[in-house]
Structures are given as C-alpha cells and as structure tokens.
Amino acid sequence: KDFRNNVRPNWCPGCGDFSVQAAIQRALAELGKEPEECAVISGIGCSGRISGYINSYGFHTIHGRSLPVAQGVKLANRDLTVIASGGDGDGFGIGLNHFMHAARRNMDITYITMDNQIYGLTKGQTSPTSAHGFKNPKSTPEGNIENSLIPTQVALAAGAGFVAQSFSSDIKQMTEIVKAAIAHKGFSLVNVYSPCVTYNKVNTYDWYKENLTNLDEVEGYDPTNRIQAITTITEKRGLVKGIIYRNEEIKAYEDLIPGYREQAIVHHDITLSAEDFLKSMKEFA
C-alpha cells in the first residue's frame, strides 16, 4: 500500500505541510487502507496542494469549500475513507461556516487543517488564527488588532466528537492522531500547527516547541472528559498537542439514516442502454 505518487511537492523547503502529507500517507498505510478506498479533498492555499500529492482519489476544490465537497463524496460512497484538508485562512476564514456545520452534522469524515497562523500563498497577511498583536512587516507592521480564533475551541463548541491538535515536527504523534481520527466514527478534526517558514517569522518550529503543551504528558488528562477539554483549551489559548476530546458514543450522521448504505449513489445502477440514452438526450434537447 503506497500512498506516495510521483508528483513533487512545490512547498518551500522546510514547510510544515510536508510532515502533514507524510503523516496522512503513513496513517492510511498503517490502517491497511488501499489508495482506491480513500479520497483526499482540499481547498485553496498552500495546504490545498496536498490532494495532488497523495496517491488516492482527490479533488482540489475552491476556497473554503473542501468540507461540503468531502461530505458530498461521503454521501455518494459511504465505503470511502474521506479526508478533507484546509489551511487556517481557507478553513477558518471563508470556510468557517462549513467547519461548524460539518462538526455538528457529524458525518464520518476527517478534517485535517494545516494551521500556520498566516496566509502563506498570498505572501503573509494575518489569518483568523494570527495572534492579537502579531506583526508582519508587509501586511500588519503595527500588529494585528483582531483577536485570534481557536479552531479546537470552535470544534468543541459545535459538538465535534473527536478534536485533536498536532505539530509538524512531531510526525510520530501526528501519525497516531491521524489514525485515531480516521478510525473515529463521525466528524474528526486534527488541527496541525504547520509552520510557514517563509512568511511567518514569529510562529516558528522553535516557538511551537516552547509554547505547546503535550497532553500525552499531562498527568490525569482524560480526553473523554468534555469539561476538562474545554477548560484546558481555554486556559492554554489552544496551545496544546494531542487528542483533546473524543466521544465514541455519538452516532455518525450516516448511522441515523435507515438504509443509508443501500441508498448511496455508488450502489445505484445508472447504466443506460444506447436506446434509452438517445431517448433521454432527445427529451433533454
């Protein structure tokens, strides 16, 4: 099972997105998936390129819209493992409404976001996750006057049953988190702090190493405890890595629809005879 293809990524050397790509490929392989059983759907931004770099079905969609497309793919074929991906601008700016509705709807898909706290592709503007006061000489030399959004907090508030966060320099933990997210039956979020080495000179690999708390090392941390998860995220301003919350009791959207599997489009016989095809075309004309 090889989820690598022969497309060479054109991310900048050192970009955190390389690790995300590798973690997804490893997780799918270690879960015993086949490329034709998986689909990776991406939005726009540097992160959006990832669907072209993984050997599976893929769709590079439009800005902020990877989640609606991913849900459509899952509706059409429940048997596919569906991964949606996005960036912090793509997913938490223009795509924020889709994020909240996907979390509450709870279809069995995994959303992996590459959060570098900046718009990388358009050369360094502040994004929804840029910290208050964040300075970038080109776009916000006086500092960001807005408050930042904490994606994991939004996911928890919207009712997601699996919320996790990771960091690009810890590919081992990220792979395990992605595996757990894919195995979760329902919507799962893995927000990855994925440094933009070219435009974000504040939130660097070293900065994250100094500021992230590893939940795996917090004594007594219990990801099934929702109150503890919300309190921890609030106190740490989102700066943690590990599985923040998981609830395996919530039923996925698909499991609430009787006969859903049989009704999925992929199981319909849509073959037409030549005669019926011509008849349909004439009616259409």
Binding residues vs ligand SF4 (CB under 6 A):
11-12, 15, 17, 46, 116, 120-121, 196-199
Q: How far is the CB of 10 from ligand SF4 (least distance, A)?
A: 8
Distance between CA atoms of 264 and 281, rounded to whole angstroms? 25
Residue whose CB is less far from ligand SF4, 121 or 218: 121
DSSP for 239-261 reads -EEEEEEE-TTSPPGGGGSTTHH
- Asked whether the beta carbons of 151 and 98 are under 8 A apart, the reply is no
Q: How far is the CB of 9 from ligand SF4 (least distance, A)?
A: 8
Residue whose CB is less far from ligand SF4, 199 or 208: 199
Distance between CA atoms of 189 and 180, rounded to whole angstroms? 11
How far is Cα of residue 172 from the mean position of the Cα atoms in its chain? 18
In sequence order, the β-bridge partners of residue 39 are 57, 82
Residue whose CB is less far from ligand SF4, 171 or 250: 171
Q: C-alpha angle with apex 281: 278 to 282, nearest 5 degrees?
A: 85
Q: C-alpha angle with apex 46: 45 to 51, nearest 5 degrees?
A: 90
Q: How far is the CB of 77 from ligand SF4 (least distance, A)?
A: 31
| CA end-to-end distance (rounded Å), the chain | 46
What is the Cβ-side half-sphere exposure of residue 133, based on CA atoms within 13 angstroms?
2
Q: How far is the CB of 136 from ligand SF4 (least distance, A)?
A: 12
Q: How far is the CB of 116 from ligand SF4 (least distance, A)?
A: 5
Structural tokens at position 10: 């054109």
Residue whose CB is less far from ligand SF4, 31 or 121: 121
Helices (H), the chain: 17-30, 66-76, 88-89, 96-105, 151-157, 171-183, 205-211, 226-235, 260-263, 274-284
Q: How far is the CB of 28 from ligand SF4 (least distance, A)?
A: 22
Residue whose CB is less far from ligand SF4, 17 or 176: 17
Residue whose CB is less far from ligand SF4, 15 or 252: 15
Q: How far is the CB of 226 from ligand SF4 (least distance, A)?
A: 33
Residue whose CB is less far from ligand SF4, 112 or 158: 112
- Asked whether the beta carbons of 185 and 106 are under 8 A apart, the reply is no
